[in-house]
Structure 1
Amino acid sequence: MSTPTKNGPAGLAPLTTGSVMRHVIVMSATGWIGLVAIFVVDFLNLFYIAQLGQQELAAAIGYSGAILFFLLSFAIGITIAGTALVARALGAGRPDDACRLAASSLVYMGGFIGVITLLLWPLLGEALTLLGATGITHGIAMDFLRIVLPAMPLLAVGMALSGVLRAAGDARRAMHVTLAGGLTTAVLDPLFIFGFGLGITGAAIATILSRVVLFWVGWHGAVTVHKLVARPRLADLITDARPLSAIAVPAILTNVATPVANAVVTAAIARFGDSAVAGYAVIDRLIPLAFGGLFALSGAVGPILGQNLGARLYDRVRRTLTDCLIVTTIYTIAVWAGLFLLADHVAAVFGVTGEGAELVRFFCRISAGSFIFVGALFVANASFNNLGFPMMSTVFNWGRATIGTMPFVWIGAAHAGAIGAAGGFALGSVVFGALAVVYAYRVVGRIGAPAATTSQRGG
């Protein structure tokens, strides 16, 4: 079995010493760069396709993105499980267990996403119809997905490798994984779309090649450099499937709630025409770029919580939650201010007009502020997943996706069209984000209480 290299002053668990806020900022910043690189793939596809001047193409990318994000949500859930278990093992000083768990998580990821991809393949047409795609837009989206979908397992395993690197506290190499994929797309997208004249087919090909690069860089960092992945063994896979599933299944259910909620909003907006759908597609790509720091923060908090939980440093666990919420608030306010000022420019750059342009401007000026609470929900979910309460993240995310989405979106759409639907979605996020944070602090208090009691008795 491979033995991982030491990393940082604390050896195998560098996140258990030093400033918690510094760890939060470093892990989040590097995670943000890497995570945004994943979404840059979709963003650049939409940007370059928009330059072709055919609104149906942009709408097709929007519908395709909703389906791909559904699969990505499964991958994120499994990555959360692998990262949490590897980080805990390292924090507890059990490197051999960390290597074994890393290997099992990669096999688990590849097999699970491969099966889901196969099951989804014959249902693509029905899925697009359910989302509201029709006519030419439906056909274009089908062509794009048929090329891109088979490469999803490769992207998923690459994400899992990045998670292993984060679990070890190697924020820089974890960043390199997804950054490499984004840079590949930045170079190849214009080449295939315009240079070779392949249009949306070229965008799909560039996406696949970017995933190949992402996987290779992750493999090099986790396996070659850190030696953090043992050789998979069937007995280990069977043994590790249970703890992985205990976190992955609730995390998957948690993450699937987001695309389900997005699908509800997309379907509601589709009633107002391709212009509105194209506008929402722009918002869908703008969110990861503008608020990628919040997505990264939820990924960064996991290894910090995991290592400190493994080392039984409960005060640092609570401090991590507080510092993450501080960073979330400051970051969101800064981004919101920038979007407010650039609202008209964003709509113009992507060529959306009419109701689609109004929808983009509304998001930039009003509903972007709700991401203070969306970010708080992300942080709370990460806390639940890494501290042994994964079902609570499922409860809060599905609460947001159902009670916090459907009635708000339907009422908003009925009274204010596409803008009302988007506004309703934002309002539901405020309610459930606030509730999740309150409960997250209760969970941290519950974990630390036995340790505090033992300490008092010892004194």
Structure 2
Amino acid sequence: MASTGAIGLMAVFAVDLVNLFYISLLGDTSIAAAVGFAGTINFFITAISIGMTIGVSATVARLLGAGQRMKARQVASASLVLMIAVTIALSAATLLFLDPILRALGAAGETRTLTRSFLMITAPTYVFLAIGMCTAALMRSVGDARRAMAVTLMAAVVTAVLDPILIFGFHLGLTGAAISNDIARLALAAVGLHGAMRVNDLIGPVRFSRLWSNSQPVMKVALPAVLTNLATPVASAYVTHAMARFGAAAVAGQATVDRITPVAFALIFALTGAVGPIIAQNLGAGRADRIRETIRNSLVFVLLTVAVAWLVLALVQNGLIRAFSARGDTAMIIHVFCSWLVASYAFVGCLFVANATFNNLDRPLLSTVFNWGRATLGTLPFVAVGMKYGPVGVLIGIAASNAVFGTMAMFVAFLVVKRLPMGDCAAMARKDSNRLEQSSVNVPGAAVGNTVAPDVELKELPVQGR
């Protein structure tokens, strides 16, 4: 599950990194800084979408694990409609308040103008990004990791092909990158809908009269998950604001690091999406022992991944600096991160695994507490102190925050899992099933049983209509 997810994510992030590489070839630091500011704003929308997909994945996977496929389809369709509505509203709000947002982030002069132009083109297509993310999460819930990977992989291929054509072939520069972004999101949504609807038959007819009742179990997890995920872009926005004080070169350096890390740690990012359905299906089956095993193995997986990534980045850092034509503060930021601060992602991985555990064991508020704690108590004072020592000091402050809150979150996650009796797992699954049962009365063909499998591990469940 993690490896297939990582291939798709790595493809997207690698193309994003290549995109920045193409833009850096234009030789204008303001353009690279504009990509950094736009990325910070995009991060907010993506974080909200990810939070909602966590709720979708956890609820649908739990129902599938308990043998409630018809109810899972009802929840899936209601969740997709809800995500579309929320994302359209967010896109409109972004465009309406774009200038105040850019001022708050510290964008000024030519950089602000470029960022505004980029977002005016890309913000209206956030809805297609949300559709792709939701449908990929549904396919992971049923164990179809290969097709979930294909969703993001298609978007990456489209971007990789169109970027050089539009940026250099048609001499559109940053505008070409924005148009390529939009077309890739359309491809993302199309492939995702095909896999979820036509291949896996996971999305049932939309019943608007039951839209809210079918969405309630999802929102129970999604709302805290959204609040949890918003903590990261809030912290990122503060970091971008802090970097802006040191000029466009510092912001460009931060933007470069922000695009290197997802490529280097795609396995860890994908692990979050993989762990959730595994925990949820075993929760539905009453297998607390397998949940504990999943958490332990995930932690080992994180530590090994970070160790390998640290070694690779330390060896290739000079090549990265030359490739991105980095100079001054930009080069210094890349060097310090690749040499030392990359190790802090071990604690970020611990936080990711802990969040997946909390979200799928009906403890989503714990995720909110730890992520917002890191974004406020962990980021504000550490970065404020680090700013006294320049842009590198800001990065050191972030690394210190990751270490403190990642360690605490993992410790609490182990306590939660340790105290989880097997009986509680089945009871939690029955509670969610009964809640949906009450909202699905008189629905033709609705499943009413609550089958608990004696021995469940995440697998690709039977596909309808394949």
* TM-score computed with the length of structure 1 as normaliser: 0.91
**1:134-192 CA-partner distances (Å, limit 9, x unpaired):** 00010000000000000001111110000000000111000000010011100000010
- Which residue, 393, 400, 421 being the options, matches 1:420? 393
Q: 2:149 aligns with which of 163, 172, 175?
A: 175
Query: For 2:16 and 2:424, how far apart are their aligned partners in 1?
Result: 46
Contact 1:37 1:179 in 2 (8 A): yes
Of residues 420, 423, 445 in structure 2, which corresponds to 1:447? 420
Structure-2 residue corresponding to 1:146: 120
2:313 is paired with a residue whose SS is helix
Q: Where do 1:13-412 residues align within 5 Å? A: 27-412=1-386
RMSD: 1.4
Tell me, yes or no, if the aligned pair for 2:286 and 2:422 is still in contact at 8 Å.
no
Tell me how far 1:38 sits from its aligned partner: 3.3
CA shift, 1:45, in A, is 2.4
Residues 77 and 249, structure 1, Cα contact 8 Å, conserved in 2 = yes
- Distance in 2 between the 1:119 and 1:107 partners? 19
Deviation at 1:448, TM superposition (A): 2.0
Kept in 1, the 8 Å contact 2:56–2:134? The answer is: yes
How far, CA to CA, are the matches of 2:24 and 2:247 in structure 1? 17
C-alpha distance in 2, partners of 1:68/1:140? 15
Q: Secondary structure at the match of 1:403?
A: helix
Amino acid at match of 1:196: F
**Secondary structure at 1:434 match in 2:** helix
Structure 1 residue 447 displacement after superposition:
2.4
Q: How far apart are residue 238 of structure 1 and its match?
A: 1.4
Q: Segments of 4+ in structure 1 off by > 6 A?
A: none
Q: Aligned residue for 2:445?
A: none
Inter-partner Cα distance in structure 1 for 2:133 and 2:422: 35
Amino acid at match of 1:403: L
Q: Per-residue displacement from partner, 1:102-143 (whole Å, max 9, x unpaired)? A: 111111111111111111211111111111110001000000
Q: Which moved more, 1:384-393 or 1:438-447?
A: 438-447
414, 432, 448: which one aligns with 2:405: 432
Could you say what secondary structure the match of 2:206 adopts? Answer: coil
1:235 positional shift:
2.6
Q: When the two structures are aligned, how many residues end up with a matched partner? A: 427
Give aligned-pair identity as a percent: 46
Q: 1: distance between equivalents of 2:118 and 2:220?
A: 34
Q: C-alpha separation between the residues in 1 aligned to 2:319 and 2:340? A: 16
Q: Which amino acid aligns with 1:408?
A: F
Once residues 92 and 413 of structure 1 are traced to their aligned partners in structure 2, the CA distance between those partners, rounded to angstroms, is: 51
* Structure 2 alignment gaps of length 5 or more: 428-466
Range 378-387 or range 118-127, more displaced: 118-127
Q: State the alpha-carbon separation in 2 of the partners of residues 89 and 393 from structure 1.
A: 22
2: CA distance between counterparts of 1:51 and 1:137? 17
- Offset of residue 41 of structure 1: 4.6
| SS of 2:77 mapped into structure 1 | helix
Q: Is the 8 A contact 2:13 2:259 kept in 1?
A: yes
Extract unaligned runs of 5+ from structure 1: 1-26, 455-459
- Does the 8 A contact of 1:44 with 1:185 survive in 2? no
Equivalents in 2 of 1:227, 1:377: separation in Å?
A: 33
Counterpart contact for 2:136–2:192, Cα < 8 Å: yes
Query: Following the alignment from structure 2 to structure 1, what is the Cα–Cα distance between the partners of residues 217 and 424?
Result: 24
Counterpart in the other structure of 1:24: none
Q: TM-score with structure 2 length normalisation?
A: 0.90
The one-letter amino acid of 1:280's match is: Q
Q: CA deviation at 1:449?
A: 6.2
Q: Is the 8 A contact 1:192 1:198 kept in 2?
A: yes
Cα deviation, 1:298-354, whole Å, max 9, x if unaligned, reads 111011011100111110011111111110000000001111111121122111210
Select between 341-350 and 440-449 the one with higher mean Cα deviation: 440-449
| SS across alignment from 2:421 | helix
C-alpha distance in 2 between matches for 1:271 and 1:130: 12
- Say if 1:42 and 1:65, in contact at 8 Å, map to a contact too: no
